[in-house]
Structure 1
Amino acid sequence: MLGALAIVLGAAAAAGLYQVSVQPGAAIVKAVFEAGSEVTPPADYESIAQTVTETRGVVITAPTPGTPDSTLNLYAPSIPHTGLPVVLWIHGGGFISSSADTVKQYVTMLAAQGYVVANLDYSLAPDARYPVALEQANAALSYLGTHATDFGADPSLLFVGGDSAGAQIASELAAVQTNRALADSVGLAAAVTPVDLRGVVLFCGLYDMQTVGSIGFPALRTYLWAYTGARDYSSFAAVDQLSTTQTATNAYPPTFITVGDADPFRSQADELAASLSGRGVPVTSLTWDGTGDRLGHEYQFDFSLPEANTAFTDTVRFLASRSENR
């Protein structure tokens, strides 16, 4: 996928298609992103899915005038349950593509492990620019904190997680809950108390806007132009708000970070892990040194890889450990 993005965007730039407007480039990237399946599930996926109940289209009312509503799709074990932990999952797609259904198979698998997973469908850029997706995620987290018991969950056992661009949103969402100055600068109030936000799960995201431009990820400029509205995203007035390496405090929740060794975002994961650890935040990292540089972006969703199965097991172990540590 990354090679295809580089080729088509290089051709588009050479043709001058998006020197003035981000729309042509964003449309190309969106088409490439959505051309294939995001998740390659394990062979026994269908039997796993039969143990999970899906509730689609729970409307999350827009938090501010002019902000679109968003929706949650909820996944939970089919057997009667109470007091389960809740995971708010935020999908990737470069801020401009994909949907909650992109990762439906993955969140179904998480739910089967004994979790209520709320899969967020947020508004995409460039039609909805920063901080709309963050506002919607914060409203969704507030809803989950208030209504957890309605679907057999425990409002004191909340987690946020995401992949790629969704990992950036999830990481910033956690910072909003634990950094009053950041929340004020974004114009949000924390949705839940820090003690109830038990942990953060981050797959292959971007976390530092000062260094991410050097990693060579195809179409990164297009993603961030679409998301921020600034052709040079580094000139965006609020760009520092997106850098969780800078905004996380010592109150940031314990965090699980994983990235492939061949993923251009590897350095971003290392930077965030170092930043959090330096603040005394417990960090669990899974970065796969020594696999021969073969684990690319979002390897976590390809269950034909043994490493993806290990990452899933480690993710569930992290969630379980934080659910028990009250």
Structure 2
Amino acid sequence: MLVTPRLAAFLIRETFRRSGLQMAASLMRHAPAGVEVHRDLRYGPGPDMLLDLFRPADGADTAGSGPYPLLVWVHGGGFVGGSKEEIAGYLQMIAAHGYTVAAPQYSLAPRHRYPMPLRQVMQALEFLQAQRAAFRLDPERIVLAGNSAGAHIAAQVSALATTPGYAGLVGIRPTVTAGQVRGLVLACGAFDLALTQGVSGVAEAILVRAAGWSYSGRRNFARDGTFASLSVPDYLTPAFPPTLLTTGNADLLRAHTERLYEAMRAAGLEAEAVFWPDYVPALDHEYQFDLDTEPAQVFRDRLLGFLAARTA
């Protein structure tokens, strides 16, 4: 019997690293010219507290010269892996349409546990706002986004900024207000702790168990009352931002996205979904980054339309 999740987390991290390298190379083929890139900007004292920033270059064919709306995209990796470099090409593509896009790195489990990534993303937001002039960004037009584990972090940061009392419960100081967060983009995320118990497949169950144990620090994380605060559907208020959600029809975490979408609709909140219930061949986790396929292109276009509408 395992007494620590470290070995499983290491193996998962290595698997994600190899697939991430392939994804990064594929996405860079879609990165357009005319984007200014700033890598490894330090937003805090910790060794992991670095972010990459993308914005239209001077003279690029975009509307005006800023300040641009700010998109903060949090990378995935099951809380134990992943990196901002994996999605750089995708974020450059978005920046070319007239946005300042930031990709923060955050500290990984099991060495660093919940809610450390939330605190770090809040610090990244604080840093970006302090540098608004240098980065030509508009702090009153912020969209949060993320994929996989990063989608959960982005959703929870949104809830921390919009749900009274929630920040105190989690122990995080918000650095943005509900009025600043204009929208939220969530791709293939995990949002509901209760759904971690219903995973089918041995490999999938091991992945979910190892990630949850690593992130929480507790073997029986699903029964941990403190860790339960990460279930975003339980902390929705009318101030929660309009949200664009997507998941593949073969995504391991599909039920999480559907659950959050249903909870938002039931609460009368603005939620748009890009789902593929009958698509063949079935779409796996993170399908949206395979920009050589039609479904990924459809979501890209919906994403750009959502950003334009929310930050106009």
Identify whether the pair has TM-score above 0.5, normalized to the shorter chain. yes
Superposition deviation, residue 43 in structure 1: 9.0
1:38-77 to 2 correspondences below 5 Å:
38-39=23-24, 41=26, 45=30, 48=32, 50-61=33-44, 70-77=49-56
Q: Secondary structure at the match of 1:264?
A: coil
- Asked if the contact 1:262/1:293 (under 8 Å) is kept, the reply is no
User: Given the alignment of the two structures, is residue 315 of structure 1 paired with residue 303 of structure 2, yes or no?
Assistant: yes
Q: Is the partner of 2:179 in helix, strand or coil? A: helix
User: 2:192 aligned to 202, 208, 221, which one?
Assistant: 208
Secondary structure at the counterpart of residue 102 of structure 2: strand
| Number of equivalences | 301
Q: Secondary structure at the match of 1:211?
A: helix
Question: Which letter does structure 2 place at the counterpart of 1:264?
Answer: L
Partner residue in 2 for 1:261: 249
Q: Give the SS at the match of 2:23.
A: coil
For residue 282 of structure 2, what is the aligned residue in structure 1? 294
Q: Report the RMSD for the aligned CA atoms in angstroms.
A: 1.7
Say if 1:77 and 1:111, in contact at 8 Å, map to a contact too. Answer: yes
Match of 1:162 in 2: 146
CA distance in 2, matches of 1:91, 1:112: 19
Answer yes or no: is the 8 Å Cα contact 2:27–2:90 preserved in 1: no
Where does residue 6 of structure 1 map in the other structure?
Answer: none
2:114 pairs, out of 117, 125, 130, with: 130
Post-superposition shift, 1:149? 2.9
What displacement does 1:42 show?
6.5
- Equivalent of 1:270 in 258, 268, 273: 258
Deviations 1:47-96 (A, max 9, x none): x1x2111111221125xxxx766111100111352121111111000001
Alpha-carbon distance in 2 for matches of 1:40, 1:294: 23
What's the CA shift string for 1:145-168, capped at 9, x where partnerless? 332232111111101100001111
One-letter amino acid of the structure 1 residue matched with residue 131 of structure 2? H
Length-normalised TM-score, structure 2: 0.92
> Please, what TM-score do these two structures have when normalized by structure 1?
0.88
Q: Tell me if structure 2 keeps the 8 A contact 1:51–1:77.
A: yes
2:57 to 71, 78, 83: 78
Equivalence for 2:62: none
Q: Which runs of 5 or more residues in structure 1 are unaligned?
A: 1-15
Structure 1 residues 280, 142: CA separation in 2 closer, same or farther (over 3 Å shift)?
farther
1:20-35 correspondence to structure 2 within 5 Å: 20-35=3-18
Question: How far apart are the structure 1 equivalents of 2:172 and 2:148?
Answer: 23
Query: Residue 223 of structure 1: CA displacement?
Result: 0.5
Match of 1:112 in 2: 96
- Which structure 2 segments of 5+ residues have no match? 60-64
| Distance 1:250-1:119 versus aligned 2 partners, 3 A rule | same
